[in-house]
């Protein structure tokens, strides 16, 4: 059957890079981007506008485009979710339930990708090299929606045979798209400020380790997971998925190798507590064993690539 892909949350941090990557791989017309409101100026067709929490809207789009795969990326992230917990619950859960129910009801049962996150972990989770199967007692609303979503994914797979696959994304870093309302956002902001002003005030404390990944790896890994043979996918909740782990001062030191005058100070805010509740590093050996996950970018490679591309980008703007 011909692949027809729907990407919800197409204007988000992951979506805005996954859509072009999927179009490059499967053809432009095979990928329908779904936007909520903020349609990017350069949005290319085919796209649809709609609210994924409205089941009928989603149903119509899936039917009209004869969708065979859904990357359901809609989500309110961790920091914004703590400011608007009820909104995070509603958007994250209602949209996911819609996608799962529509997949269940449809004849051709679309394959689904849904992102979980390190936010599924919490203060009681082992902090270092966190295992695949571990304690999931998050303290943020965002994290709660991720744990519930992981269990729903597993349930819809076993009970209804929906081929749903998921990754626990670490902080994702990119020069193309700014993140929106997350706790790992500092690791992107720092590059912008280093290039523009030579200094940055970090909202996380020195020493706050978090698992991280460059966007190129995140996009490639996501597509590889979706292309893996169904029998190779042994984890139907969500795979630990990581490349590296660092804390703010290590990133600052790496940037200094390229911009020696760069300076950083610290002014932790409410996001510090969120970051502390997450793990320092993740063991993703199940993903590496089951479907061959392999990252390419560590901290030095990522820093260099970010600076080269972002400098060029900011010059042009």
Residues that bind ligand SER (CB under 6 A): 77-78, 117-119, 169, 171, 182-184
State the alpha helices, DSSP H only, in the chain.
Answer: 15-26, 55-64, 78-83, 85-89, 95-105, 141-160, 186-197, 215-227, 248-256, 271-277, 285-291, 299-316
In the complex, the smallest distance separating the C-beta of residue 267 from ligand SER, rounded to whole angstroms, is: 18
Q: Are 9 and 75 in contact (CB under 8 A)?
A: yes
Q: What is residue 63's three-state secondary structure?
A: helix
Q: Supply the minimum distance, in Å, between the C-beta of residue 215 and ligand SER.
A: 12
Alpha-carbon gap, residue 282 to 315, rounded angstroms: 36
- HSE-CB at 275 with a 13 A cutoff on CA atoms is 27
For 19, the token pair is: 């859509």
In whole angstroms, how close is the CB of 184 to ligand SER at the nearest point?
Answer: 4
Question: Is 88 or 310 the residue whose CB approaches ligand SER more closely?
Answer: 88
Separation CA 137–CA 82 (nearest Å): 16
Secondary structure of residue 296 in the 3-state scheme: coil
Quote the least distance from Cβ 107 to ligand SER, whole Å: 33
35/142 with CB nearer ligand SER: 142
Catalytic center residues: 142
| Closest residue by beta carbon to ligand SER | 182
Peptide bond into 46 cis (omega under 30): yes
- Which of 122, 169, 128, 124 has its CA nearest to residue 143? 122
**How far apart, in whole angstroms, are the C-alpha atoms of residue 184 and residue 214?**
12
Helices and strands (DSSP H and E) totals, the chain: 12, 12
| Residue 119 vs 194, nearer CB to ligand SER | 119
Smallest distance, ligand SER to C-beta of residue 183, A: 4
Q: Among residues 92 and 184, whose Cβ is nearest to ligand SER? A: 184
Residue 68 or 117 with smaller CB distance to ligand SER: 117
Nearer to ligand SER, 207 or 292 (CB): 207
d(C-alpha 119, C-alpha 183), whole Å: 9
Least separation in angstroms between residue 269's CB and ligand SER is: 13
With beta carbons less than 8 A apart as the criterion, state whether 214 and 302 touch.
Answer: yes
């Amino acid at each position: 059957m011909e692949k027809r892909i729907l990407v919800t949350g197409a204007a988000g941090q992951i979506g805005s890079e996954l859509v072009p990557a999927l179009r490059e791989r499967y053809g432009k017309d095979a990928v329908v981007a779904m936007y909520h409101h903020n349609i990017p100026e350069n949005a290319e067709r085919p796209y649809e506008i709609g609210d994924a929490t409205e089941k009928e809207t989603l149903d119509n789009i899936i039917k009209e485009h004869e969708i065979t795969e859904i990357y359901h990326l809609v989500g309110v992230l961790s920091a914004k979710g703590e400011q608007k917990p009820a909104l995070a619950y509603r958007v994250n859960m209602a949209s996911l339930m819609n996608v799962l129910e529509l997949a269940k009801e449809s004849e051709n049962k679309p394959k689904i990708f849904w992102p979980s996150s390190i936010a599924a972990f919490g203060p009681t989770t082992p902090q270092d090299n966190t295992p695949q199967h571990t304690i999931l007692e998050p303290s943020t609303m965002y994290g709660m929606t991720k744990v519930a979503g992981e269990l729903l994914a597993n349930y819809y797979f076993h009970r209804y045979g929906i081929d749903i696959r998921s990754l626990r994304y670490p902080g994702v870093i990119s020069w193309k798209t700014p993140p929106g309302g997350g706790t790992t956002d500092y690791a992107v902001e720092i590059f912008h400020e280093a290039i523009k002003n030579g200094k940055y005030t970090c909202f996380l404390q020195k020493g706050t380790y978090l698992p991280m990944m460059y966007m190129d790896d995140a996009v490639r890994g996501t597509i590889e997971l979706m292309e893996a043979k169904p029998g190779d996918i042994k984890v139907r909740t969500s795979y630990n998925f990581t490349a590296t782990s660092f804390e703010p001062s290590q990133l600052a030191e790496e940037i200094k190798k390229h911009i020696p005058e760069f300076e950083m100070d610290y002014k932790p805010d409410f996001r510090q507590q969120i970051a502390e509740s997450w793990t320092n590093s993740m063991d993703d050996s199940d993903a590496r064993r089951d479907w061959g996950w392999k990252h390419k970018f560590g901290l030095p490679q990522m820093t260099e690539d970010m600076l080269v591309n972002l400098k060029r980008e900011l010059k042009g703007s």
